[in-house]
Amino acid sequence: MRREHYFLIALILVVIVLFGFGSRAGLALQAALRGPMLEQVGTANVAASLSTARNGLTVPVYSRYPLNLKDQLSIAAGAADGIRAGDIALIDGYFVGIVEKTFENSAVVQTIFDKRFQAPVRIGAAGADALLKGGTDPEIALIPGSAMVSEGDQIYSAVEGVPYGTPLGSLRNLRDSDDKVFRAARLAVPYNSGSLKELTIIPATKQ
């Protein structure tokens, strides 16, 4: 008997078994096939948690639940992944902070919500100079009283090492400073700063 005949007979027997013994055999066969498929999907998901994005390396942020600390964030990638101190952390293209320390497989990012953080910024189309002062509610300080700025203007980075023009957010609560020479405002960010689960890390620009 030819090999094709044996194959046809075997196929007919499989169909008879599946339909003759009800759905249990069919379910068992599906489970046998589905197991390796699910394993492959799970492996792919783990690998995707450290994916190289077009503009850098997208990495998970370690949870600090139930604490809502956001001045420093620990990320699940480090020197082994090419991350260095001074690299830039972004969320959806917005500047969040700078890598402060690196370890073999993790790193610490100092964010704009750290009261120690300060950096020069510019505001709006006029490019008015100002100083970002970090904290739980970051402040935009030392805005010249003569600067043509208004609430809602975009704030962007002007500090060395960060790509020029990287956005931070927008101006809100604009007011006169106590000295009446400068004005001050608050930084409005377009993301939930208390629930950051991923950051994109890009290299610092060359000095």
52-207 to CATH, choices 2.40.10.340, 3.40.50.11540, 1.20.1260.120, 2.60.120.1440: 2.40.10.340
Query: What is the per-residue pLDDT across 45-59, written as a single tens digit (0 to 9) for each?
Result: 333 334 444 458 999
For residue 129, pLDDT over 80 is answered with: yes
What is the pLDDT of the chain when averaged over all its residues?
81
Q: How many whole angstroms separate alpha carbon 169 and alpha carbon 172? A: 10
Residues 6+ apart with CB under 8 A from 58: 50, 51, 52, 198, 199, 200, 201
- List the domain boundaries for the chain: 3-48, 52-207
SS3 10: helix
Residues 6+ apart with CB under 8 A from 99: 83, 84, 85, 86, 87, 88, 89, 107, 108, 109, 110, 201
Q: What is the pTM of this model?
A: 0.72
Residue 135 CA to chain centroid, in angstroms? 20
Burial 45-54 (b: 16+ CB within 10 A, else e): eeeeeeeeee
Contact 73, 97 (CB under 8 A): yes
